[in-house]
Amino acid sequence: MDFLKIYCMSINNNHLETIKKLGYTPVGLNKGQFSNEWLRDNTGENISHKNSNYGEYTFYYWYWKNLLKFKKENEWVGFCHYREYWGNNQKDEGQKLSELVLKEYQTEWSGYDAIIGEPIFVGKTKIMKILKYGKMAMIRNPLALFSQKGRNIRWQFEMFHGIKNLDKAIDLLPDKDREDFRSFTRTNSSFSRGNMFISKSSKVINDYFSYIFDWLNRCEKIFGFNLEGYGQIRMYTFLAERFLPFWFQKYTNSLNWPVIFHDINKNEKI
């Protein structure tokens, strides 16, 4: 019988009890002070020192190198973090977080290789935010100011993470994906939420991690680590976030699934 195991990443030891109540496996990132009840991304073969730039991908790397080989054949592995969780398809009408999050394998996943986050649309970005962050992106794509039709993935990335940075990274992709992904970023106005996925297939997990870390390593030679400002410092996280839905939609039979935003730092109902 298939079963689900979800790893929930955090940077704060105070989140332990909440994550355990959800039935998730707690993962402590980077140099934080964590009890021995946490998995850590800074043991074994790791890139934990890159966490400020790579975000959740330092644990993805750790899982890939240290834990994937032990995954059971009937185990669906999922990832989330302390602000975004997999939902159980119920509407949020004041329920506690524990009543809304996904906890078990869903039979409707049968026949799919992977589950990815439901899409978030960039077209609804508020005008004030565009004027504050997106002046240069607007010059390159003035239609975006007046119409949601001009607000695609590339436009949104450039608004927050630097002009031409996405295209520079795309230039480093293998020939078989370079122009497909470039087109994806210019014709789509949404991408999967949360940099999250669930999969039963060890091959799919290995193939994705092999691909994404090879690409991000190439990108390091362009962007380096001397980056300033949240939008720049987390460059590799944001690049991977745009690429994840493209890769899974192209190379797997994937299903979109609800994602819940809930920041447990705010002590909301659990």
List, for residues 171-212, the tens digit of each pLDDT value. Answer: 999 999 999 999 999 999 999 988 999 999 999 999 999 999
Please state, in angstroms and rounded to a whole number, the distance separating the CA atoms of residues 223 and 219.
Answer: 6
Give yes or no for residue 262 having a pLDDT over 90.
no
Using DSSP, state whether 97 is helix, strand or coil.
helix
**pLDDT over 80 at 66, yes or no:** yes
Residue 221 has pLDDT above 80, yes or no: yes
> Does residue 148 have a pLDDT over 70?
no
Helix segments in the chain, DSSP class H: 16-21, 51-54, 57-66, 97-100, 127-133, 135-140, 143-146, 153-161, 165-170, 175-187, 202-223, 230-233, 235-251
Q: State the pLDDT at residue 143.
A: 54
| Band (151; pLDDT cuts 50, 70, 90) | confident
Contact between 85 and 67 under an 8 Å Cβ cutoff? The reply is: no
Residue 224 Rama label (left phi>0; alpha psi -120 to 50; beta): left
Which of 7-16, 22-31, 78-87, 149-158 shows the lowest per-residue confidence on average (mean pLDDT)?
149-158
Q: Which two tokens stand for residue 3?
A: 């079963």
Question: Which residue carries 């078989």 as its tokens?
Answer: 176
**pLDDT of res. 31:** 83
Residue 6's pLDDT is what?
98
User: Which residues neighbour 80 within 8 Å (Cβ) at sequence distance 6 or greater?
Assistant: 6, 7, 8, 9, 24, 86, 194, 196
Rounded distance, CA 62 to CA 54, Å?
12
Question: Is pLDDT at 99 greater than 80 in this prediction?
Answer: yes
Number of domains in the chain: 1
Q: Would you state the pLDDT for residue 150?
A: 64
> What single string gives the DSSP state of each residue in 206-235?
HHHHHHHHHHHHHHHHHH-S---SHHHHTH
Q: CA distances (Å), 75 to each of 68, 93, 104, 244, in order? A: 11, 31, 11, 21
Domain interval for residue 120: 3-266
Look up residue 171 and give its two tokens: 């230039």
